[in-house]
Structure 1
Amino acid sequence: MKILGFLLALIFISYRSVAQDPFALFTEAREKARQQNYPAYLADLKKVNELLPNYPDFMYELAKAYARNNQVNEALELLKQVNYYRFPFDFRQEPAFKNLAENPAFIELVQQAAVFLKPVRKSTLYLTLPEPAFIPEGITYDGSRRTFYVGSYAQNKIIQVKKDAPVVPFTVAGQDGLGGVLGLKANVKKQELWVCHNTETGTGGVYKYDLTTRKILKKYLLPAPAPGEAHTFNDIALAQDGTAFVTNSSLGAVYQITPQQDSLVRVAEIGRLIYPNGLALSTDERYLYVASFSGILVYDRVVKVLAKLETNNQRRTGGIDGLYFYTQNGLDYLIGIQNAFTVNGESAERIIKITLDPTLKTMTDFEILESLNPQFNTPTTGAIVGDDFYYIANSQVQKVKPGGKIEGTVVPSKVFKLSLK
């Protein structure tokens, strides 16, 4: 069973007991189901979904628990909600739903779910990184050089890559004390490269490099975290005035570095979130979109208010890693790499496209651009170039262990190209 423990351990680092850890309690609940102790199975699953609402695997398991306890209406309502996610759950093959097979409402839900079992394949291979143990997580594009910068989480370095061209080192391993690289962004106008730096001791920050000289310009570091906590600087968004926004996922925080203060300052109005990850700015830069584990949030930089992205059609937006703002033919979209959800314990990674209304605060449509791709192995981040989306398809970050050691077999990571038209 493949679960993204790399992410989940960071998300729930604060849980101190099985009773408060939804994933541990989920495992216990399934054991009770195997023992056919269905009342206890249901009670545990209710608690799991209270601890972590709107997680599709947990919702699906709760629907099974309701069915096992002959609570048909409750099971059907949950399956209806599960279908909102458009994940490939195959209701027909689940023994727990055997007694629902002739129920008209269940038959309708099965027909709806059948659509989501079909793969969506639109991406093509753009390039392959030559070194299997590189383990990339972040990628950004420099239009002035027509080159991509890719950071290594395992080898603590950055490279420059172009299609059909040799890899060029931007930094060597550990240069300037650089740790594991997650998100990075190029500011072509100012010829700067902003990099999320992380260490095994839980310290970290942001490095700023000169794109031309490849020399470090400044390090933005935070003091060591309190015992039991960690810094995980994950992704970056850059504004035209030079302000950088960065997520600190383990602390549930968003920081900013303004040209005036030139230091990491927490955005107080955003508060503490559940594993904030990808960031994106609207074209006018009024709105900062924050991908958290539980869904996308919208921070209004003018009135300094944070709100949930409204979802008129109830499609869920949680579990997104890289997040990007995109405009085409007068319409605005968010492109997201959704990699933190599972289906029956197996990763359900996909690329999604969210249509925004004119206020930029409400989702009006939801489209799956890529799903059920067998080459996916924790896709993470990407970069939009024109009307194309270039993204890391198989980062394999979950295989990185302490000391940069790789667990198991890894293959060369690939960058895929996906047309957004």
Structure 2
Amino acid sequence: MDKRVYLKRYLFSLVFLLITSGIAAQSSVKVITTHTEKDVIPEGITLDPASGTIYVSSIALQKILAINKDGSHKDLISSGQDGFREGLGMKIDAKKQWLWVVSNQKQENRFISCVHAFDIKTGAVKQKYVTEDTARHLFNDLILHPNGRIYITDTYAAALYEVDPVKQKLDMFLRDSLITFPNGITYNEKGKVYIATYSHGLMQLDLPSKKLMPLKGYADSTKAYNLDGLAYWNHHIIGVYNGGATNKDNAIMQYSLNSGGDGIIKEQAIDIGNALFHDPTTAAVLGDKLYVLANSYLGEYNANKESTRGITDQLGPVVILVYPLK
């Protein structure tokens, strides 16, 4: 056989295999469609393990949605309730049935960042913390650590904040150039914390010593340095990559960790370029399933001077993708 003909057949077979593999990977994805307002601009997602209810925060409408697995929904809190602002990261305290969530807003030359704990049964506010500064701050994501504290990434300040819900205090816990532009945050079974940063990629943090180290072993540095939300599952870190030039480049990445949790031994894409991606942001795990907020429309929102006015026809209701984990 002519070598050129063989090469063409080989390349065709390889491309076909890659395409069909991608289709097979995406065919197992469950899609939760909703009929929410188009101008939600959703950002954060979390789930109540008791009921399976999905909670989504809204940037533009400054509220929190409670979404059922059939796509039906209601507002947990109304727009601006109890001083809630542009909503981002969220986590559930399953024992107390509280939803912890961060929000932010810039008013003239002041940056306001808030932490709220809402009762998920009534929507009543249980705790609230507010910072206001002329220096830039953006509370982005948070974890409820086994030590009882809440840790919050501050993207603009290259910092980690700590809430002590017993003493009801909010303080800066750590500020370091190694976590310049921090975003998603998660932790493993031993309490080791992992932070996605745009400056140094994935970082690992030992809370007692406040020691920071890069989490090495990733193959694709572009994706590792542009992760948004993080989740942890069974010795794996899962990150939402939304730094692609187009949504065809965006992906859900899975990083397998070594036994010590201090290095990556395998990297794979759970999904790449899903047709329903439109600036995916964050993810949450419940059991052996991953729930991904597929369509934030942050690109359109930011390009329109952080407003939905006049661009509603470019937006759409909230879509959540559900992946089986393995």
TM-score range, shorter chain: 0.7 to 0.9
Please say if residues 247 and 279 of structure 2, whose CA atoms lie closer than 8 Å, have aligned partners that are also in contact.
no
1:211–1:240 CA distance, 2 compared to 1 (3 A):
farther
Q: Structure 2: any 5+ residue segments left out of the alignment?
A: 1-10
- The answer to whether the aligner puts 1:152 opposite 2:21 as a matched pair is no
Matches within 5 A, 1:219-238: 219-226=128-135, 230-238=136-144
| Greater than 6 Å deviation, 4+ residue runs | 113-117
- The answer to whether the aligner puts 1:340 opposite 2:243 as a matched pair is yes
Matches within 5 A, 1:19-418: 118=19, 120=22, 121-122=25-26, 123-164=29-70, 166-201=72-107, 202-226=111-135, 230-268=136-174, 270-271=176-177, 273-285=179-191, 287-294=192-199, 295-311=201-217, 314-316=219-221, 317-327=224-234, 332-342=235-245, 348-400=249-301, 401=304, 404-406=307-309, 408=311, 409-418=314-323
Task: Give me the whole-angstrom Cα distance separating, in 2, the residues matched to 1:216 and 1:169.
Answer: 14
Q: Which amino acid aligns with 2:169?
A: S
Please say if residues 379 and 393 of structure 1, whose CA atoms lie closer than 8 Å, have aligned partners that are also in contact.
yes
Please say if residues 160 and 175 of structure 2, whose CA atoms lie closer than 8 Å, have aligned partners that are also in contact.
no
TM-score for the superposition, normalised by structure 2: 0.84
1:262–1:387 CA distance, 2 compared to 1 (3 A):
same
Task: Specify the alignment match of 1:102 in structure 2.
Answer: none
Task: Give me the whole-angstrom Cα distance separating, in 2, the residues matched to 1:169 and 1:354.
Answer: 34
Shift of 1:303: 2.9
Shift of 1:292: 0.5
Task: Give me the whole-angstrom Cα distance separating, in 1, the residues matched to 2:85 and 2:43.
Answer: 13
**Structure with greater helix share of residues:** 1
Shift of 1:385: 1.0
Shift of 1:115: 9.6
Please say if residues 186 and 230 of structure 2, whose CA atoms lie closer than 8 Å, have aligned partners that are also in contact.
yes
Please say if residues 129 and 414 of structure 1, whose CA atoms lie closer than 8 Å, have aligned partners that are also in contact.
no
Please say if residues 240 and 251 of structure 2, whose CA atoms lie closer than 8 Å, have aligned partners that are also in contact.
yes
Please say if residues 210 and 216 of structure 1, whose CA atoms lie closer than 8 Å, have aligned partners that are also in contact.
yes
Please say if residues 226 and 243 of structure 2, whose CA atoms lie closer than 8 Å, have aligned partners that are also in contact.
yes
Task: Give me the whole-angstrom Cα distance separating, in 1, the residues matched to 2:39 and 2:300.
Answer: 10
Deviations 1:150-182 (A, max 9, x none): 111110001111022631211111111211101
For 1:236, what is the secondary structure of its paired residue? strand
1:204–1:391 CA distance, 2 compared to 1 (3 A):
same
1:260–1:170 CA distance, 2 compared to 1 (3 A):
closer
1:384–1:373 CA distance, 2 compared to 1 (3 A):
same
Shift of 1:299: 0.2
Please say if residues 270 and 305 of structure 1, whose CA atoms lie closer than 8 Å, have aligned partners that are also in contact.
no
Please say if residues 269 and 305 of structure 1, whose CA atoms lie closer than 8 Å, have aligned partners that are also in contact.
no
Shift of 1:215: 0.9
For 1:283, what is the secondary structure of its paired residue? coil
TM-score for the superposition, normalised by structure 1: 0.66
Q: Structure 1: any 5+ residue segments left out of the alignment?
A: 1-109
C-alpha root-mean-square deviation of aligned residues, in Å? 2.5
- Structure with the greater alpha carbon radius of gyration: 1
Please say if residues 339 and 347 of structure 1, whose CA atoms lie closer than 8 Å, have aligned partners that are also in contact.
no
Please say if residues 35 and 71 of structure 2, whose CA atoms lie closer than 8 Å, have aligned partners that are also in contact.
no
Identity rate of aligned residues, in percent?
Answer: 28
Aligned positions, number:
300
